[in-house]
Amino acid sequence: MDEKKIAIQVKKLEKAYKLYDKPSDRLKESLGLSRKKRYKEHYALKGVDMTICQGETVGIIGTNGSGKSTILKIITGVLNPSGGQVSVNGRISALLELGAGFNMEYNGIENVYLNGTMIGFSEKEIAAKMDDILEFADIGDYVYQPVKTYSSGMFVRLAFAVAINIEPEILIVDEALSVGDVFFQAKCYHKFEEFKKMGKTILFVSHDLSSISKYCDKVVLLNQGVKLGEGSPKEMIDAYKQVLVGQYPLSEEKEGNLLGDKDISAAAAAKAGQGTTEHGAMINPDLLEYGTKAAIIEDYYVTDEAGRNTSAIIKGQNCSIHMRVRFLADIPEPIFAFSIKNIKGVEITGTNTMLEKAFLEPVTGGSVKEITFTQKIDLQGGEYLLSLGVTGYENEDFKVYHRLYDVLNMTVISDKDTVGYYDTNSKVRVKDVPI
């Protein structure tokens, strides 16, 4: 890798905090009154490596407390690491805690100069950008009032406008794209896309997995301060979903499949080299499969409006998604689900029996259920991936019994594609108006 093309490099990064049982222990240690170790170390980050090249858009995902915001603060210099190295090549603008550097007594324009100076710009450079900043913030004459009089919405709009219109070489974002109303969010995403097209380096944290999938070239997955993986958005989002239910495969021996009994499901049969289900549907050999095995999805397929097994659906017609589930244990109220993604991994739509209020009954071990979801397909023409699942709640704890991600492909055939993912099938009327 060419060193000149590296924008951010993190090596063996660590951040540890001292946790004391009581305030007096902290005081005794600070005064040197005790030789005994009176604290426990908590690692917000432990041995994290990450390399980001110039022009890349990289996302960081993980559960709360995984160290996502901590690593951004260390990269931007807000926090000092406990160990490891961080090198940054390029001028950074960070959207972390919006407005953290604002003086509440200053008016909006004075705060623009204050923030710009803190980032490293001259007064002349800030003045050249002032019109763009004020136009983006769009808070009118309030820019001449002290920011302490602003609503929370005006405050974040101005802070965001300052950070994103400075034109940095590296943009770092921590959940800041969700600020403001829906119109302002759309403006923020448009600016974000402009940055990406300009070849800027972007590093951002978000719980919005659709944004991660749409914008990122690669994704880093953190969990409890440890880097679990790095790869394509689809790979890391699928792994993150396993982390959320406590079923991430931590050893390479498991090869991404936590089920173990590979002779039970049709998905496992595909991995063994058999490419179709019992009903003849072609299976993705690289599907992701996991669960507790209390229930197993044995078979699955798609039928068209005429009831024929198929992977091709004509847009505007009904189709049915079928799965057969065998229960190996008693389950109080199983939930059957499906979702449809595009090939970039963006979840387009889906539902489950709990949302549909279609099945809320206990099931005994040894029984078999056939579940059918029937719906009109108004997706735009193209290729899609179908995922299936059986989950439920046991004493308020969420359980995943069996999940199959991207198990089947579905082709939507269309002679009319509109804007976006879904066709609204608008009825259009045009009439003359008397002049």
In whole angstroms, how far apart are CA 328 and each of 108, 230, 372?
64, 35, 21
269: left (phi over 0), alpha (psi -120 to 50) or beta: alpha
Pairing of strands 295-303, 318-327: antiparallel
Domain at 3-231, CATH homologous superfamily = P-loop containing nucleotide triphosphate hydrolases (3.40.50.300)
pLDDT confidence tier of residue 270, bands split at 50, 70 and 90: very low
pLDDT confidence tier of residue 263, bands split at 50, 70 and 90: very low
* Greatest C-alpha distance within the chain: 92
Measured CA to CA, the distance from residue 308 to residue 288 in angstroms comes to: 27
Average pLDDT over residues 408-426: 88
Q: What are the residues facing 206 on neighbouring strands?
A: none
pLDDT over threshold 90, residue 387: yes
pLDDT in tens, 65-109: 899 989 998 998 888 999 999 999 988 877 776 666 688 899 999
Q: Where are any strands of DSSP class E within 328-381?
A: 335-342, 347-352, 368-376
User: Percent of the chain at pLDDT above 70?
Assistant: 87
The residue ranges of every structural domain in the chain are 3-231, 259-413
Is 259-413 assigned to CATH 3.30.230.10?
no
Which of 346, 310, 329 shows the shortest CA–CA distance to 402?
A: 329
Complete DSSP assignment for 163-200: HHSS--SEEEEESGGG-S-HHHHHHHHHHHHHHHHTT-
Question: Given 3-state DSSP classes, what are the helix, strand and coil percentages for the chain, each rounded to the nearest 5?
Answer: 25, 35, 40
pLDDT in tens, 116-164: 887 778 888 889 999 999 998 888 899 999 989 988 788 888 888 887 7
Which of residues 42 and 404 earns the better pLDDT score? 404
Buried b (16+ CB within 10 A) or exposed e, 296-312: bbbbbbbbbbeeeebbe
Tokens, residue 203? 């590093």
- Where is 391: in which H helix or E strand? strand 382-394
**Residue the block writes with tokens 């982390």:** 243
Average pLDDT over residues 271-276: 52
Residue 275: predicted pLDDT: 65
User: Percent of the chain at pLDDT above 90?
Assistant: 42
pLDDT confidence tier of residue 165, bands split at 50, 70 and 90: confident
pLDDT in tens, 329-380: 999 999 999 999 988 788 899 999 999 999 889 999 999 999 999 999 999 9
User: Positive or negative CA dihedral for 230, 235, 238, 239?
Assistant: negative
Residue 298: predicted pLDDT: 93
- The lowest-confidence range among 47-61, 190-204, 247-261 is 247-261
Backbone angles phi, psi at 282, to 5 degrees: -70, 135
Residue 262: predicted pLDDT: 37
pLDDT averaged over every residue in the chain: 84
- Where is 84: in which H helix or E strand? strand 83-88
Measured CA to CA, the distance from residue 216 to residue 193 in angstroms comes to: 11
pLDDT over threshold 90, residue 226: yes
pLDDT over threshold 90, residue 59: yes
Which of 260, 258, 256 shows the shortest CA–CA distance to 236?
A: 256
Residue 77: predicted pLDDT: 86
